[in-house]
Amino acid sequence: MTVAVGALSATADREADIFDLFALERRANSHLLIRAEHDRRVDHPSKYLKAAIAQTEAAGEMEVEIPRAKDCSIRIATLTIRYATLTIKAPSNSQLGLCEKMGQKLTLRV
């Protein structure tokens, strides 16, 4: 993905995996990068997000150094990068009522 000059990217951990957040309007050239918490239902033959992503071809790999912890030495982890454009189905417990506004589905790059 190419990011334009003046683009805004927000990065968050699993606590930001909220359907209504994804449904909110964002300004042009703004992007969310959020680690998935929920194995969401998707319009894909595998039916769920994690299985759908696992079936996509790897886009690349990267190595990261995991710092030393209490009982563990420094180690290197290899991450596999995968992404796809999927349509995510709204959860039944949407708090902001945006699911109805968005037609119960959102198409996102995940």
Q: Taking Cα atoms as reference points, which of 52, 74, 47 lies closest to residue 63?
A: 74
Which DSSP category does 58 fall into? Answer: P
Q: Give domain status of residue 37, yes or no.
A: yes
Q: For residue range 61-97, what is the model confidence (pLDDT) as tens digits?
A: 999 999 988 888 999 999 999 999 999 988 876 665 5
The alpha carbon dihedral of 85, 90, 95, 99 has a sign of: positive
pLDDT of 110: 87
Q: Give domain status of residue 3, yes or no.
A: no
Range of 47's domain? 8-109
Q: In total, how many domains does the chain have?
A: 1
Q: Give domain status of residue 36, yes or no.
A: yes
Q: What is the CATH number of the domain that holds 62?
A: 3.90.350.10
Q: Give domain status of residue 1, yes or no.
A: no
Q: How far apart are the first and last CA of the chain?
A: 12
pLDDT of 2: 56
pLDDT of 70: 85
Q: Give domain status of residue 16, yes or no.
A: yes
Q: Give domain status of residue 77, yes or no.
A: yes
Average pLDDT, the chain: 85
Look up the pTM and report it.
0.74
Mean per-residue pLDDT, 29-49: 91
Please, are residues 79 and 1 in contact by the beta-carbon 8 Å criterion?
A: no
Q: Give domain status of residue 54, yes or no.
A: yes
